[in-house]
A and B are shown apart, each in its own frame.
Chain A
Amino acid sequence: MTRYIIRRILWFIPVLLAIMAVTFFLAKVMPGGPFDFAGEKQLPESVRQNLMRRYGLDAPGYVQFARWLWNALKGDLGPSYYYKGRSVNEVLAQTFPISAQLGFLSLALGLLIGIPMGVLAALKQNTIWDYGSTFIAILGVSIPNLVLGPLLIWVFALKLGWLPTARWAVNYTELIWGILPPPDKLRPFFTHAILPTVTLGTGLSASIARLTRASLLQVIREDYIRTARAKGLPERTIIVVHALKNSLIPVVTVLGPMFAGVVTGSLIVEQIFAIPGMGKFFVASVTNRDYPVILGTTLVYSILLVVANLFVDIVYAWLDPRIRYE
């Protein structure tokens, strides 16, 4: 197992390198550059040249990539072209923890609601419980965050006045260990977090519930469940120890990419609730042709994705003893 993990980690290097090279290439072949326009105004060629020179974009593409790579290995992801005077390192350090906080909370909520709901639906198949949970899940999946977010703000902040309208209660200058909210701000932290977490978490819980249901339905028809029943195990033990554990494999499979996606921020939810996370940079950096930010955000996402997938594979072996990595 250890050897397997080490081998997988070594594989990260070429995988990440390939992702970054392809991203760099794609960013470069997009028509238009970072300094062609200020707003709708076309900049004179001379001004564009000054800017290209200042940021080293007058060098050939492979030189630019090599420079970026070399600096990245030293831990420097370069300057943002759009936010003058800010480095990509700063942008990521300031925005990623906020997105991660929201992501963790939403994923936790998704699991806490999704798994019980899926189990309930599977065990009570074709009853009102099943239909009810299916209905809620479909509702959760099909109501876009763009609609749910403003709706929640309208109800809970404007009409009832129970919760704050928007914004995140802590900012990057106050974080503990670079990620946790300070203990004396926990209360505002959670009151501000409730609406965005529910907005993002309901969609996640819905897909988790559907997967859990489908998978559990399959597992409880397996021979080994019948064996367990035949030898007289209590129903609770059968479900929790034998059925549920095995049925979680598809759920865990989607959790990897879901985790990477959700902790790097959701553009829509962050925008609706004015949360200073990194979600917006995935889109804004492309719109602005801000190459170092495109590469920086992609790098963070890719690292999270490969690491999450490794965890998923390790968890497989624990969930299903038939899976062996050697």
Chain B
Amino acid sequence: MTYKRWFAVVAVLVIASFILAACPQPTPQVVEKVVTKEVEKVVTKEVEKVVTKEVEKIVTKEVEKVVVATPTPVPGEEKVTLDINLGTEPPTADPALATDTTSVTVIEQLFLGLTDLAEEDMSPIPELATKWETPDGGQTWIFYMRDDVPWVRYNPATGEVEVETDADGNPRMVNAHDVVYGVKRTLDPRTASDYAYVLYIIKGGEAVNTADPAEADIDALLAEVGVEALDDYTVKFTLEYPAAYFPQIASMWVARPQPQWVIESKGDRWIEPGFIVTNGPYVMTEWVHEDHMVFERNPHWPDWDKVEGNIERIYAVMVTEASTSFAMYENNELDTAGVPLDQMDRVKSDPVLSKELVIQPIGCTYYYGFTTTKAPVDNPLVRRALSAAIDRKTLVEEVTKGGQIPANTFAPKMIFGSPAGDPEIAPWALPEDMGGWGYDKAVAEAQKWMAEAGYPDGEGLDILLMHNVSEGHAKIAQAIQAMWQTAFPKATFTIETQEWKVYLKTIGKKTPLEDMPHVWRLGWCLDYPDENNWVHEVFNPEQGANRPRMSFDDPYVGDKIKEFSETTIAAARTQDPEERKALYKKAEKLLVDDIAAIAPIYYYTRVTVTKPWLQRRWHDTPHFETWVIDWEAKKAARGM
């Protein structure tokens, strides 16, 4: 008898779950209404409670509560909304502390830089600075700033964006002093900024950032830093050495003006909505950690009539799982999304999705590095043979499938000075349709080089390839292992993997040579779009990171390595753009072809689908103020 009871219970549950499941999803408007009510209730309660206590406490209590529970806009007041996925919780919104693309995307909406990077070629264009000049060939830079951009704060109590005022009640405009403060705050060792080092080029920057606050007088050192306000809207930078690429550095988040009065009064919490004071096209109105952020149009941003964008509100979710994000896109919950690898074939063949697909190159390169002091890859012929025996075209078409581009240089094409795709450099890396040798010729030559190096058919060759644990890297490594094995049948190729941080330590400079793998995987993405950030900072044997351990004493190509080093140093200090390009072409040829310290594999792409009602743009970091939504079409598609 009993089991009948149990069976009845189960049956009821199953039926109940079906009934529940059949409930239609409530429309978004209803949800918003609910939110508002609840939040208002909470705030009022809190204030009532406070009133019964001391009067002094009211202000602080109220503010703290407001930060946690921000009211959403009144429903009915319909705003043109963009729905996007940030992909993850941004670790910070503080321009001095950001290191990752998610944080930088958030910061880009909130804070203007002295310069901006053009959408087409990433050249520096005016943003806060209307023009700039270097009177002495690149050592000193003077930026002339506009005077009509106010600092603003979103007031959660009123839902308004308010212009910040100073003690006299005058609006606070973004000025040269804010730039000086921002740069010095980033360089202050007490701020502990990860990316402070990109500002080491500013005179005195490295000295203060590397000083120990317990021993040195930091304030005195900060006063020595080569950034000063000549007047309220003119800022002068003095550099350690001439650098033609400084206007690109001036666009970076770490060099942006920062609101001193807020940071000093609110401390680490100044980046929370309600506190944060910004000057960009959007303000942050909500930041629910791990869940979503909301940005709203800053009506005081002066350039709204100069951009065509019509987005008034950005609802940015933080969905990490690519397949979920893609499902939300298909369900019209996101206006644009990345495409997961396993969906690529379907998207390409689907009549609707294939039209919404855009593959766009981005400023990152996937490469294998060689430990140039470790036999047998100490011989440049072996390195070049291995590099040439990678069939890059097949790899991007059959393995990575994201429209990646075969690479024959370290820096991708969009980087200033990069000769990417130029068949004078490592033609063996390029397929025939890109002007290169094609794989058949490349592998035939590679076999000759390998024989010349003393390893005919790879005999006697034992190579360890290492990468960090990841399904994607493993697929690529296995494909390359198979290509090598076919090209050099008598050699042994072993793949090892390690957890990310362990791996980075293993391939670091402090690892003894016997523990280093011969070949290791890495990637590089731009900090600023200039070859200096690539060949010089990453590989210069004297001043760069130089993980391949290139040395002037190299018995095979020591002179070439010296030449490479001299070339990247000279290029940084040259002013003429054409001359710089020629120097970087030489440096890339030395690095990839003659020395063959690395095997560039492909340039990354961004694979996105975009709904037909969204007209998006392709700045390296999204500029939402330039995006346009056909709001009626979006509402119709969502059934709103």
Contact = CB atoms under 8 A, between A and B. Distances in A.
Interface of A: 30-33, 35-44, 46-47, 49-51, 53-55, 79, 82-86, 90-91, 94-95, 112-113, 116-117, 119-120, 123-124, 150, 153-154, 156-158, 161-169, 171-174, 182, 184-185, 187-188, 190-191, 194, 198, 234-236, 239-240, 271-274, 276-277, 280, 287, 289
B187 to A, nearest CB: 10
B38 A182 contact: yes
A324 B398 CA distance: 66
B1 A235 contact: yes
Size category of the B interface is 35 or more
Interface string B4-27: 011101100100010011111110
Interface in B78-117: 89, 91-92, 94, 97, 99-100
Interface in B273-328: 288-291, 317-321, 323-325, 327-328
Interface of B: 1-3, 5-7, 9-10, 13, 17, 20-26, 31, 34-35, 37-39, 68-70, 89, 91-92, 94, 97, 99-100, 189-197, 206, 209-210, 212-213, 268-269, 271-272, 288-291, 317-321, 323-325, 327-328, 330-331, 333, 499-502, 504-505, 508, 522-525, 545
Given A119-B3, A191-B26, 9 more contacts: A32-B502, A37-B504, A38-B100, A83-B289, A84-B91, A153-B324, A162-B23, A163-B25, A235-B2
Given A51-B192, A173-B288, A154 B327 contact: yes
Contacts of A273: 324
Contacts of B524: 40
Contacts of B2: 119, 123, 235-236, 239-240
Given A150-B327, A156-B21, A287-B501, A47 B194 contact: yes
A38 B99 contact: yes
15 contacts: A51-B192, A85-B272, A91-B289, A123-B2, A153-B324, A165-B327, A168-B291, A184-B34, A185-B31, A188-B26, A188-B31, A272-B323, A273-B324, A280-B290, A287-B500
B37 to A, nearest CB: 7
Contact of B505 (A31, A113, A280): A31
Contact of A83 (B7, B25, B91): B91
Nearest to A34: B501
A82 B545 CA distance: 24
B38 A184 contact: yes
Residue among A117, A173, A272 with most chain B CB within 10 A = A173
A164 B91 contact: no
B288 A172 contact: yes
Contacts of A271: 320-321, 324
B71 to A, nearest CB: 10
B38 A120 contact: no
A31 B288 CA distance: 33
A53 B38 CA distance: 43
A284 to B, nearest CB: 9
A143 to B, nearest CB: 16
Contacts of B39: 173-174
Contact of B324 (A31, A84, A166, A289): A166
A31 B501 contact: yes
Contact of A84 (B5, B268, B501, B522): B268
Nearest to B289: A94
Nearest to A121: B3
A274 to B, nearest CB: 4
Given A47-B194, A194-B21, A174 B209 contact: no
B504 A174 contact: no
Nearest 8 Cβ contacts at the A-B interface: A32-B501, A276-B290, A46-B210, A38-B99, A54-B192, A116-B6, A85-B268, A84-B92
Contact of B327 (A54, A166, A190, A276): A166
Given A84-B268, A158-B331, A168-B291, A120 B6 contact: yes
A191 B25 contact: yes
A310 to B, nearest CB: 30
A272 B209 contact: no
A85 B92 contact: yes
Contacts of B502: 30-32
B274 to A, nearest CB: 12
A246 B505 CA distance: 55
Given A123-B2, A165-B333, A36 B504 contact: yes
A85 to B, nearest CB: 4
Contacts of B504: 32, 36-37, 40, 42
A289 B37 CA distance: 41
Given A120-B6, A123-B3, A171-B288, A164 B327 contact: no
B257 to A, nearest CB: 19
Contacts of A187: 23, 26
Given A163-B25, A174-B38, A187-B26, A83 B99 contact: no
A50 B100 CA distance: 19
A23 to B, nearest CB: 17
Residue among A85, A95, A117 with most chain B CB within 10 A = A85
Nearest to A37: B504
A274 B24 CA distance: 21
Contact of A94 (B24, B290, B330): B290
Contact of A35 (B17, B38, B194): B194
B567 to A, nearest CB: 23
A185 B38 contact: yes
Contacts of B9: 112, 116
A42 B545 CA distance: 8
Contacts of B37: 184
A175 B192 CA distance: 35
A50 B523 contact: no
Nearest to B1: A236
Contacts of B325: 274
A113 B197 contact: no
A281 B555 CA distance: 49
Given A32-B504, A165-B328, A274-B318, A185 B34 contact: yes
A119 B290 CA distance: 41
A174 B35 contact: yes
A112 B49 CA distance: 42
